[in-house]
Structure 1
Amino acid sequence: MDTNGIPSRLRAADTDRERVVSLIQAAGGEGRLTLEEVEERLGTVYSTKYTDELAALTADLPKPVPKRRLVAFGHPAVRIHLAVAVVLSVLLIVRWTASGTPFFWPAMPMFWLAMSVLVHARVRGARRRFEPEEGFAVA
């Protein structure tokens, strides 16, 4: 036990073991480990009791690269554009409701507002992907 009363070694849960198994299998699939090493490590994974033992099994493997989330409306200018488009759409719907016209005429302006926001988000996303780095464009 450490000074806070928390055990210095934590017992491994099944989810911890499965996470390590997937890392080892991926490393085997990439050719980083031989078939014998994969079998040996998988046997060890299922017999471990503590999380620090699990960490030792993948210490010599590269850490997995976190997947990047696609942020379509991440730029502040695009979010402002989206907010303005929503407010205008609401105003168009209120105007249509007050006019009593049976045909839903705000559909066309709302469509073009939505298209303008999508194009703006696409352009901002393209700018972010191709920012210059030491004189070269990065894809």
Structure 2
Amino acid sequence: MEDIHPARLRAADADRERVATAVQSAGTEGRLTLDEVEERLTHVYAAKFTDELTALTADLPRPVPPWPGFPLSRAALRRHPALRLHLAVVVAVAVVAIVRWAVLGAGFFWPAFPMFWLVVSLFVHARVRSARERARTAVPY
């Protein structure tokens, strides 16, 4: 019976597939030869523990995370009720400012300044939320 260190975690099939995809991608990019890819894939599918998988990709560069895209989307609004509330406050304050401007008959459109900063605060809020979400879901090799 082999000596099992209590800190070692058993590798799941999903772990093996993730590492196998990274090894195959490295072969496709020309970072590994065909023989190295075959050898590493053999070790990937024979690995029992996650630290064995980590060693197989230690010398490969980490993939660049995709650009997050536009942070304020319908999906983001569905996932984060705080963003919906923030958007509602921005719209309500903008409507009140525009109505006040129209009723008072001011010539200069002053509501543009507070509306600009309200929209900026909304985008910053959405960007911070999406960055936190990506950090929570990021999985190393």
What TM-score do the two structures reach when normalised by structure 2?
A: 0.49
The equivalent of 1:16 in structure 2 is: 15
Deviation for aligned residue 1:7: 2.2
Distance 2:22 2:70 in 1: 27
Distance 1:81 1:43 in 2: 52
1:33-86 CA deviation, whole Å, 9 max, x = no partner?
000100110011000101000000001100111112113449xxxx97875446
The equivalent of 2:68 in structure 1 is: 69
Task: Show structure 2 runs of 5+ residues with no match.
Answer: 74-84, 96-115, 124-141
Indicate yes or no: 2:36 matched with 1:37: yes
Distance 1:18 1:12 in 2: 10
Distance 1:70 1:44 in 2: 36
Choose between structure 1 and 2: higher helix proportion: 2
Q: Relative to structure 1, is the Cα distance of residues 81 and 17 closer, same or farther in structure 2, using a 3 angstrom cutoff? A: closer
The equivalent of 1:56 in structure 2 is: 55
Name segments (4+ residues, structure 1) moved above 2 Å: 71-74, 79-89
Deviation for aligned residue 1:87: 6.8
Alignment of 1:63-102 (within 5 A): 63-73=62-72, 83-85=89-91
Secondary structure, aligned partner of 2:36 = helix
Distance 2:41 2:28 in 1: 14
Computing the radius of gyration from Cα coordinates, the structure with the larger value is: 1
Task: Show structure 1 runs of 5+ residues with no match.
Answer: 1-5, 90-116, 125-139
Distance 2:25 2:35 in 1: 14
Deviation for aligned residue 1:8: 1.1
Secondary structure, aligned partner of 2:38 = helix
What TM-score do the two structures reach when normalised by structure 1?
A: 0.50
By relative contact order (CA 8 Å, sep 6+), the higher-ranking structure is: 2
Secondary structure, aligned partner of 1:69 = coil
Distance 2:33 2:66 in 1: 26
Secondary structure, aligned partner of 1:17 = helix
Distance 1:80 1:53 in 2: 46
Indicate yes or no: 2:16 matched with 1:46: no
